Structure 1
Amino acid sequence: MTAAGDLRAAERQRFAEEAGFGGALVALPSDASPRRYFRLPGALLMDAGAGAADFPPFLAIAAHLKRLGLSAPAILAADAARGLAVIEDFGADTFTRLLAAGRAEAPLYELAVDALAALHTAPQATGIAVPAYDLGPLREELEMFTGWFVPAVAPGLDAGAFADRFLGLWQQKLAGVATVREALVLRDYHVDNLMVVAGRSGVAACGLLDFQDALLGSAAYDLVSLTQDARRDLTPGLEPALVSRYLAARPDLDPAAFTAGYWLLAAHRHTKIAGNFERLSKRDGKHGYLVHIPRVLRLLDRALGEAGLTDIRALMDAHLPGWRRHAPAAPAA
């Protein structure tokens, strides 16, 4: 560990003790986020980094979700300046871990859909000061594709010229959904970030994690995150059943309009993720995400068709030959 790392470790320990949680900190596995988590006796310590911009939103959104009757971790102690918090420990039962251990798939996903519908129908759910999911963040996410995926697939391409055309087409397609403010969009609503919380029933049994980047936007986005998971294949037939379950809980929605938004945002999300997984490998050395890119591209190809984005797909076919077959391997150590 570096000297800076030693100092940060000491700061974490001191903060935990000041909050009344002594004992050794046991590091938990990290993910795509720069945040780190440590298990304490009876709680977790979250290290977001000093001055982390997403730390105050995490605290505010966690409290908001709890007020809505959903299970976000309770904040037991926090220091925004230091980027440290002691939070409720939901245990180890992430949906991902439960599925790997053989837990039935459909009931877990149904619980997640029910929790999402409860969030979207809760009074005052959008009554929180978070940014809008407008063309700004929508375009920034697509720039991960043009900035990282495109050079990996077509290194000789004039990436700037391609990006201008590609982003211009997307801006036209997203103009409508960019104005929607109907839901608090958690943005990474998938099995890695969902937990079964022991001792709770109904939608409160679904523990919510990783929501600090939430925005106000379309209700379809988080459903896509869940049902078209970049990291795992769902059993055939489960996705349409889950979409039907969500729509049954939302009789206020126009099913045709919702479905159109669902497929548009599916195509957008898979485009973003293809670029992000390349970025995580090349920039951050997190090569484990590369194995998921073939799945993401299959999902993207399907979503482009379902959303009727034929001009975007034609541009990709013309300038990114073989993009569907892109299957990068992790670099040798």
Structure 2
Amino acid sequence: MATAAIPTDSSDRPHQEWQYLELMRRIWEHGSERIDRTGIGTRSVFGATLRFDLAAGAMPLITTKRVFWKTATREMLWFLTGDTNIRPLVLQGVKIWNEWPHANYVRETGDEIALEDFVQRIADDEAFAARWGDLGPVYGKQWVDWPTWRYRKDGLFERGPGINQVAEVVESLRSNPGSRRHIIEGWNVAELDRMALPPCHKTYQFHVGDGRLNCALYQRSCDVALGLPFNLWSGALLQRMIAQQVNLEPGEFVWMGGDTHLYLNHEHLVSEQLQREPQGRPRLEILRKPDSIFDYRIEDFAVQNYTPLGAIKAPVAV
């Protein structure tokens, strides 16, 4: 498979996107071929790392195909609400979670409704959405309302107050920046079987050094072709938002992947993308500073210098 050489641009620094393309090439050419949960099959490596410097507004926004960063941003803002129902996303035209509740509905009811019709019914029928649009206690639920239990005098247990991990991390960064416990965790073992999909991007750790906020994201499972471009943007976006809230400059975003894979039916995407070269250096501007990490709106974000090559479509494995 032909790949482009890695040049430098006028800044004399290799474009940060090349490391993503090199990871894609390494997986496709040298990854272990495996049967996976979806039955499609993957080529996989284990323990990948990517590093991006977010100084001066830089973001790991992939340019060798179009990434719909507003969709990824809306998803991140939805996570921060703690909501687990897809209806708020559907009403904004965000489609990335639709397949999971649709598959569950078909499996449980036997009704072979088309995905598009199912999603329209989620939008139109609030009661139907409440029954069939929920994903279980995924991501945002764990981030802002991690469940606790307390022992009652009658010997039974009852739900205690939820733990808002995001709020606690923001406060700890302000009050104790040198702590090694600035962590947001999504992997709640007790609730995995209730989730439509156990968290892939599961652990975020933040670190303060030289007035900059760094973030390391560990992802247990990663679809490099379709998922990783969103994950890179979203993780760096959360880092940028928190950095603004705690009055720190954004530092390095470090992404670490466990099972890092490409699906075998994505060959056309991989072949096309590896023949492309990064275009420009996207920058994110946050247009206002809200009162809290939970008050950002989609209108608060603007991206400059993003001139990507065209989108490359491929099926999502469910």
- TM-score, normalised relative to structure 1: 0.24
Q: Which has the higher contact order (CA 8 A, sep 6+)?
A: 2
> Which structure's residues are more often strand, by fraction?
2
> Which structure's residues are more often helix, by fraction?
1
- TM-score, normalised relative to structure 2: 0.25
